[in-house]
């Protein structure tokens, strides 16, 4: 079977650190091109400045991975789908729920695969955590996602603009895990969003959810943490406490702790290949819907200006 010819659109840190190595390590794909108006691309791979240029004059591709900021992703995805090209959407899948729904409808009409890729769901501890929780009664959940924005997003002005999500850019990773592992749906009750005086998106958020069985879920997001970073999910159940740490890579159960190597992006590309080969899409917007609810229902509190 011929490999899927894929182009990476947007060659920034996430593309270089995760997408390009994952593609190189998966025989189902061949890297046909890279696209960026700012980055020179990689040696011996055709590089173009725009997706339009690629589709008109570049090498033929079967799929694109969109690693651009979410604010511009809809137009790129729609352009690719118009040609029947399969589309991998980095998280979040779009700047709004409505545009993702429009893309899903378009993909269905043209018979192309659309994949909303939540990489944290492929962290080593997530699948066994989901299986263990399926038979448990959830009593309480505590999510702590605190990191240093200057380390992880230096100089990325787009992330502070409307549609860039601010602290929800990492926070949505936690929500992608929790919506996947908990056996019941949950919804927002209250939220406070701390927004720097000179920015349009929050730097911190305190959120309270409730699942349909009445279990309380608390989420603490903060982009101002220095030193050790915190990416932890604690779930108290009738059978003891489960903890996912290091972004889902380490799982602790009452019976012990499991560690495994990172395989998030290799897992994503294996999933994308399977979807393409089977003619299906996977567009789960539950994490993005919860973030949208936070902006809809959350209280705004102005905090000190943030200087990168």
What residue ranges define each of the domains in the chain, with the CATH number in brackets?
Answer: 4-116 (3.40.50.720), 120-260+292-303 (3.30.360.10)
pLDDT at 257: 76
Residue found under tokens 């395989």: 263
From 2, 12, 16, select the one nearest 70 (Cα to Cα).
Answer: 12
From 205, 207, 208, select the one nearest 223 (Cα to Cα).
Answer: 205
State whether residue 96 is helix, strand or coil: coil
User: Do 19 and 67 form a contact (C-beta atoms < 8 A)?
Assistant: yes
Report the pLDDT averaged over residues 108-133. 97
Supply the mean pLDDT for the chain.
96
User: Do 77 and 52 form a contact (C-beta atoms < 8 A)?
Assistant: no
Residue 121 has pLDDT above 80, yes or no: yes
Integer angstrom CA distances of residue 184 from 34, 39, 63, 83, 136? 40, 43, 34, 38, 11
pLDDT at 258: 75
CA 133/CA 183 separation, integer angstroms = 7
pLDDT at 197: 97
pLDDT at 1: 81
CA 255/CA 263 separation, integer angstroms = 24
From 105, 111, 119, 59, select the one nearest 83 (Cα to Cα).
Answer: 111
Residue found under tokens 């926070």: 171
From 165, 168, 217, select the one nearest 190 (Cα to Cα).
Answer: 217
CA 295/CA 246 separation, integer angstroms = 27
Residue 29 has pLDDT above 70, yes or no: yes
b or e along 85-111 (b: 16 or more beta carbons within 10 Å of the residue's beta carbon)? bbbbbbbbbbbbeebbeebbebbeeee
Report the pLDDT averaged over residues 59-63. 97
> Active site residue: 13, 82, 91, 109, which one?
91
CA 308/CA 153 separation, integer angstroms = 9
How many C-beta atoms surround the C-beta of residue 217 within 10 A?
A: 22
91 is an active site residue: yes
pLDDT at 308: 87
What are the pLDDT digits (tens) for 1-12?
899 999 999 998
191 token code pair: 């939220």
Residue 44 has pLDDT above 80, yes or no: yes
Q: Do β-strands 138-146 and 256-259 pair in parallel, antiparallel, or remain unpaired?
A: unpaired
pLDDT at 260: 67
CA 255/CA 242 separation, integer angstroms = 10
């Amino acid at each position: 079977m011929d490999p899927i010819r894929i182009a990476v659109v947007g060659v920034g840190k996430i593309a270089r650190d995760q997408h390009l190595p994952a593609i190189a390590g998966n025989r189902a794909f061949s890297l046909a091109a890279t696209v960026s108006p700012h980055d020179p691309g990689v040696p011996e791979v055709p590089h173009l400045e725009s997706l339009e240029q690629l589709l008109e004059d570049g090498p033929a591709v079967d799929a694109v991975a969109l690693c651009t900021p979410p604010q511009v992703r809809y137009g790129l995805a729609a352009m690719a789908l118009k040609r029947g090209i399969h589309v991998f959407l980095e998280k979040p899948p779009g700047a709004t729920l409505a545009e993702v729904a429009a893309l899903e409808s378009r993909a269905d009409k043209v018979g192309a695969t659309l994949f909303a890729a939540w990489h944290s769901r492929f962290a080593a501890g997530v699948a066994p955590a989901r299986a263990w929780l399926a038979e448990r009664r959830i009593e309480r959940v505590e999510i702590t996602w605190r990191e240093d924005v200057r380390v992880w997003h230096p100089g990325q002005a787009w992330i502070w603009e409307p549609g860039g999500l601010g602290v929800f850019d990492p926070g949505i990773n936690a929500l992608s895990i929790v919506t996947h592992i908990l056996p019941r749906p949950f919804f927002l009750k209250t939220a406070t969003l701390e927004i720097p005086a000179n920015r349009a998106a929050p730097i911190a958020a305190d959120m309270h959810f409730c699942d349909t069985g009445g279990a309380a879920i608390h989420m603490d997001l903060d982009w101002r943490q220095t030193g050790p970073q915190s990416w932890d999910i604690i779930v108290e159940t009738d059978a003891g406490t489960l903890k996912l740490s290091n972004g889902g890579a380490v799982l602790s159960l009452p019976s012990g702790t499991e560690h495994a190597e990172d395989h998030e992006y290799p897992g994503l590309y294996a999933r994308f290949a399977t979807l393409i080969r089977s003619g299906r899409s996977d567009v789960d917007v539950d994490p993005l819907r919860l973030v949208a609810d936070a902006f809809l229902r959350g209280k705004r509190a102005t905090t000190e200006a943030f200087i990168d």
